[in-house]
Amino acid sequence: MAGKKKHATGTPATLALEEAGVPFTLHSYEHDPRNQNFGMEAAEALGFAPERVFKTLMVQLPDGLAVGIVPVDGTLDLKAIAAALGHKKAQMADPAAAQRRTGYVLGGISPLGQRQHSPTVLDDSALRHATVLVSGGRRGLDVELAPEDLIRLTGAATAPIRA
């Protein structure tokens, strides 16, 4: 696994992993700009089962933004993430607000190395896998790491938030 040396093309996500000394593997692929289903594109291009590839979604809660991380072949259960964070309801965040908050573009939002930390919930299905993939901080780049490391670095709670 990579992660010991600095990469000239590092993203805030990969730099956060390197600084924490977390083992990870980079997986890159050629993003098709016509494809807006970023997560499934990554799973198919990289040859991983969709239940191991997770997408990072931003939600708006009454008291601010939060992060939900779910498998790319599922959708985020807004009531479940709201409940996991102590609220009654949530809605998808405004895309521009998500980009400002994280410092990443849509389709490349990583749960790691975000500009501002947000409360984070990882779907508990991630714990069934030795490693999972999340965005590496840009379209066409994913990082593979242990779910326990993802939880530790993001301060994530785990809950069944996949619809």
* Long-range contact set of residues 16-20: C-beta below 8 Å, sequence gap at least 24: 16/112, 16/113, 16/153, 17/112, 17/113, 17/143, 17/145, 17/153, 20/149, 20/153
Is residue 135 domain-resident? yes
Does 21 map to a domain? no
In a domain, 86, yes or no: yes
- In sequence order, which residues have a C-beta less than 8 Å from that of residue 44 and are 6 or more positions away? none
Count of all residues that appear for the chain in the document? 163
Domain count of the fold of the chain: 1
Q: Is the confidence at residue 114, as pLDDT, over 50?
A: yes
In a domain, 122, yes or no: yes
Cβ-based neighbour number of residue 10 at 10 Å: 17
Tokens of 9: 């093309």
Per-residue pLDDT of 129-146, as tens digits, reads: 999 999 999 999 999 999
Q: List the domain range (segments joined by +) for residue 109.
A: 26-159
pLDDT tens, residue by residue, 119-130: 999 999 999 999
**CATH code of the domain containing 127:** 3.90.960.10
What's the pLDDT score for residue 8? 45
pLDDT, tens digit, 9 for 90 and up, residues 59-109: 999 999 999 999 999 999 999 999 999 999 999 999 999 999 999 999 999
Q: Are residues 159 and 41 in contact, defined by beta-carbon separation less than 8 angstroms?
A: no
Residue 130 exposed, middle or buried by CB count within 10 Å (0-12, 13-18, 19+): exposed
Q: Could you tell me if residue 148 is inside a domain? A: yes
| Average per-residue pLDDT for the chain | 93
